[in-house]
Structure 1
Amino acid sequence: MSTFDVAAGAIRRDETVEIVLLLAFAGGYIDAYTWIIHGVLANAQTANVIFLWVHAMGGEWAKALHFVPPILAFAVGIVIAAWLRRVAAERASALSVLLEILFLITIGILHNRLPDLAGTLGISMVAAIQAAMFVKVEGTMCSTVMITGNMRQFIENLFAIVCGGAPLGSLRKSVIFYALCAVFGCGAAAGAFATKTIPDLALGIPVVALLIVLLRCEAPRSQEGK
């Protein structure tokens, strides 16, 4: 993957703030979509596992089994991401985004005929691929599919700034992680609104966000070829 200079050093294109924020928007959007349409979470497998066992312990086996497919689909998505890293190396990030786009388009087409299979399974695989492939912003660990770790990073950096003696770049990191949390929430709000108002076309919005990510990931490589 090509790199370019950001602030003090070379940053991978797929670790830039622009790309990570777009992915966070898509992550929040997709989670809202799957929760409203299917009653499961595409990204937050912790919640799916909790709901599974809460219903299982109450003897509600049908409700418990409802949360198994997205968990298994997420696992398959992680395997796909690992395979892409092995066979595609520096092109893995861009190829993973292309795969996400193709999955979402396919889900949108099949959704009326096979809603559970196309939605729950397909979107969980999309979420898993994104979670496994995009794990850093400007060299620091982050998540584009949930906000727990990002919120911790924001609070820790802000605390270090307030108490004094914060490492260089703490303010920038704090702002970035706050932005990740905010954009994820905006994505969830947009996903909820679109899913309720234009359910048949709702998945088009994250596809547009991912297309921009794909173009930005490939832009430096295109420029090098000139």
Structure 2
Amino acid sequence: MEQVETRQMSESFRLGAVLALAGGFLDAYTYLVRGGVFANAQTGNIVLLGVRLMEGDWAGAGHYLVPILAFAAGVLTAELVHARCGRWERLHWRQLTVAAEMILLVAVALLPGWADSGANVLVSYVCAVQVQSFRKVAGSAFATTMCTGNLRSGTEALYRGWLTGEREDLRRAGRYYGIIVFFCAGAALGAWCSGAWGRRAVLAASLLLFAAFLLMFRRKNTCGGGESGIK
């Protein structure tokens, strides 16, 4: 009898696509509604931190240091939840992180315009929790809140597939590019919602995470293609 292996839905392309939608949405939201910043990736904040330090602008440096620290705190939180709750049977530890993200995004929606810095800190924290909790799609390393690594890995896989004719490399490239497309679609959705609803638009991202939360009650078979509930 053929042995059927299972893996958590947390590594499925379907869930990765939903999370990428949320990631792109949040980047568009913070840029358009919360002061023209990108809260998902911290490279820009680190560069601007260095610039402000060189200029002797300590207050400006602190403005960029806070979201960097919030991102680091989000990574630590995800690891702590994994360590403390990783053996829970009825609720997957990643579902706990997604539930926390949803709650924090509701809090972001309630913050007024003068608290944009606090909103960006919370979104940075949420994105860090997500990127640390969901690191693979179909066994390959992915990110759902930023695209640079996905673009590099996807192009590398495409080159290897074209050079060797290996179909798995081509499928892997397709998954990487697919996640990028969903991230872009999320940014477009975020731009539309931000224009229509302003600060409250982030609630739509919370709904996307709720969809991800529900998807994780299913388990995907790596052999045979079926799905069954999480045991």
CA distance in 2, matches of 1:21, 1:197: 24
- 8 Å CA contact 1:11–1:139 kept in 2: the answer is no
Are residues 1:212 and 2:211 paired? Answer: yes
Counterpart in 1 of 2:124? Answer: 124
CA distance in 1, matches of 2:204, 2:129: 18
Give the C-alpha shift of residue 114 in structure 1. Answer: 6.2
- The SS at the match of 1:21 is helix
Give the C-alpha shift of residue 224 in structure 1. Answer: 5.7
Please say which of residues 178-187 and 124-133 is displaced more in the overlay. 178-187
Give the C-alpha shift of residue 119 in structure 1. Answer: 0.5
- The SS at the match of 2:198 is coil
- 8 Å CA contact 2:8–2:216 kept in 1: the answer is no
Give the C-alpha shift of residue 116 in structure 1. Answer: 3.3
* Matching residue within 63, 76, 82 for 2:73: 76
Q: Which gives a bigger RCO, structure 1 or 2 (Cα 8 Å, sep 6+)? A: 2
Are residues 1:15 and 2:36 paired? Answer: no
Alignment of 1:180-219 (within 5 A): 180-219=179-218
Question: In 2 relative to 1, CA 31–139 (structure 1 residues): closer, same or farther, beyond 3 Å?
Answer: same
Are residues 1:49 and 2:46 paired? Answer: yes
- The SS at the match of 1:98 is helix
Q: Percent identity?
A: 32
Structure 2 unaligned spans of 5+: 220-226
- Counterpart of 1:103, as a letter, is L
Are residues 1:40 and 2:17 paired? Answer: no
Aligned residues between the structures: 216
Counterpart in 2 of 1:147? Answer: 147
CA distance in 2, matches of 1:70, 1:83: 20
Q: Give per-residue Cα distances to partners, 1:116-137, cap 9 Å, x unaligned.
A: 3540221111011001100000
CA distance in 1, matches of 2:51, 2:31: 17
Give the C-alpha shift of residue 65 in structure 1. Answer: 2.4
Please say which of residues 82-91 and 189-198 is displaced more in the overlay. 189-198
- Counterpart of 1:43, as a letter, is N
Give the C-alpha shift of residue 169 in structure 1. Answer: 1.3
CA distance in 2, matches of 1:14, 1:129: 14
Q: Give per-residue Cα distances to partners, 1:123-178, cap 9 Å, x unaligned.
A: 11101100110000011111011111111111111111221243x51121111100
- The SS at the match of 2:6 is strand
CA distance in 2, matches of 1:179, 1:222: 25
The normalised TM-score by structure 1 is 0.87
Please say which of residues 15-24 and 154-163 is displaced more in the overlay. 154-163
Question: In 2 relative to 1, CA 113–31 (structure 1 residues): closer, same or farther, beyond 3 Å?
Answer: closer
Question: In 2 relative to 1, CA 160–203 (structure 1 residues): closer, same or farther, beyond 3 Å?
Answer: same
Give the C-alpha shift of residue 40 in structure 1. Answer: 2.9
Question: In 2 relative to 1, CA 31–224 (structure 1 residues): closer, same or farther, beyond 3 Å?
Answer: closer
Alignment of 1:57-72 (within 5 A): 57-72=54-69
Counterpart in 2 of 1:108? Answer: 109
Counterpart in 2 of 1:169? Answer: 168
CA RMSD of aligned residues (A): 2.2
- 8 Å CA contact 1:40–1:70 kept in 2: the answer is no
- 8 Å CA contact 2:8–2:218 kept in 1: the answer is no
Give the C-alpha shift of residue 206 in structure 1. Answer: 0.8
The normalised TM-score by structure 2 is 0.85
